[in-house]
Amino acid sequence: MPVSVVNSALIYDALKAADVRLISALPETWLVHLIRMADDDPEVNLVRLAREEEAIGISAGAHFAGCKSALLMQNHGFLASVNGIVSLALLYKIPLLMLVSYRGDLGERDPWQTMGGLKTRPVLEALGIPYYLLDDPAAAAMRIKEAQTLAESALVPVALLMTRALMWED
Amino acid sequence: MTESRGGTEGGAMRRIDALEAIYPALRDTLVVTIMGGVAAELYSLGHRPNFFYNEHAMGLASSIGLGLALCLPDEKIVVLDGDGSCLMNLGGLTTTSRYLPPNLAHIIFDNESLMSVGGFPTATSTGADLAGIARAAGYPSAVTVRTVDDFRDEATRAIDGTQLACIVAKVEARNPTSFYMDVHILENRFEFARAARARAGRPVEPAPPQQVGTAGETQTTRG
């Protein structure tokens, strides 16, 4: 499977270095290595979801408890989470570190991914959620730490869009 | 309501009476409620900093409880859910069951209706069985109770116990006498996080000033 193991490990190590100890996830192709790494790590609580919106509540609970968390989801999962983001995270000022696989963008071959790809950034912008592309392996670890820092200081969700360039090896 | 096959006929309990029966056990417990009448009635019995009222985001009170339970394994977490909210996140029952947090008590007040928006019947009014769904999802224990005495017994057992438990309390479909709550949602959110973190000895919000500088020569800054 041409999902980048090297860059998945780089992202995972950055999450660990940022003291993330709870990771919620719903599997999708680009996330498989990240989820396996979390599953194999006794220091991390991996919460496998039925639907991504649950992760907004789980991370809110983790934040109240003083535990750093991260959310792994596809961009369609982000789109499925919008009410939780609005009515819990934004309303109650809950920081979220959202790592979103950015399907349906440049280079996407699956037609069914493309509408979500086209709508991801407009929806993030409509929600006022700061987002950054995670496309350069050299900058990824710093971006993850910076995103967490901003989320916690502004008490807002921050999204990192993991691109094909970072996650896929053709 | 001719289609109703549920349990609210024939003297179901009032939710406020059920809450009052377990209030002593909730006083010093981390509690997450849903919006509307459940929040207002718990508040009316006496607000505590360890009560969090999830005043929107229907369905996510139980997910908040799961996050708390996983991050605070030495604390009991009580979720006060409702049938309408629970039905919006049935998948969450399966997620919670995967991890079986022994410190989570999931109480669902089932009035078979969406009371705060006019009392429209939910699927429990035509027979959807939330305790059965919870058991089928993997909850090791899930019961339905219809009297205050039974509720007190089962809820107390769940709160004192060491196993994930779900209690579905069939209650009258009636709004609280007042929805008055003199606590702003953000005030409630920050005081609750403070109460939760204090129990784990974790830093409270806002974060303390950042430590910068080289080893052996740290300096406190405020940007």
The residue ranges of every structural domain in chain A are 5-165
Partner residue facing B71 (CB), from A22, A48, A57: A22
Question: Residue B214's domain spans which residues?
Answer: 15-221
Interface touch B64/A67, C-beta < 8 Å: no
B186/A93 Cβ within 8 A:
yes
The reply to whether B3 falls in a domain is no
Query: From first to last of its 223 residues, what are the pLDDT tens digits of chain B?
Result: 333 444 444 458 999 999 999 999 999 999 999 999 999 999 999 999 999 999 999 999 999 999 999 999 999 999 999 999 999 999 999 999 999 999 999 999 999 999 878 889 999 999 999 999 999 999 999 999 999 999 999 999 999 999 999 999 999 999 999 999 999 999 999 999 999 999 999 888 766 556 655 554 445 555 5
Domain count of the fold of chain B: 1
In a domain, B197, yes or no: yes
Nearest C-alpha in A relative to B207? A153
Where are the strands (E) in chain B, listed by range? 30-33, 51-53, 77-82, 104-110, 113-114, 120-121, 142-145, 165-170, 210-214, 217-221
> Does residue B99 sit at the A interface (CB-CB below 8 Å)?
yes
What number is the ipTM of this complex? 0.97
- Mutation site for B-interface testing, chosen from A22, A23, A64, A155 by largest number of B Cβ within 10 Å: A64
**B13, B148 Cβ separation under 8 angstroms:** yes
Inspect the interface and report whether the beta carbons of B64 and A93 lie closer than 8 Å. Answer: no
For position B75, which CATH number holds?
Answer: 3.40.50.970
Inter-residue contact A168 to A1 (CB < 8 Å): no
Per-residue pLDDT of chain A (170 residues; tens, 9 = 90+): 699 999 999 999 999 999 999 999 999 999 999 999 999 999 999 999 999 999 999 999 999 999 999 999 999 999 999 999 999 999 999 999 999 999 999 999 999 999 999 999 999 999 999 999 999 999 999 999 999 999 999 999 999 999 999 999 97
Q: How far apart are CA A58 and CA A23, in angstroms?
A: 9
Can you name the CATH fold of A5-165? Rossmann fold (3.40.50)
Q: Cβ–Cβ contacts within 10 Å for residue A58, how many?
A: 32
pLDDT in tens, B201-214: 988 876 655 665 55
Nearest residue of chain B to residue A25 (CA atoms): B95
Residue B30 lies in a domain: yes
Which chain A residue has the Cα nearest residue B57?
A: A87
- Beta-carbon separation of B185 and A88 below 8 A: no
CA atoms within 13 A on the CB side of B133: 19
B159 found inside a domain: yes
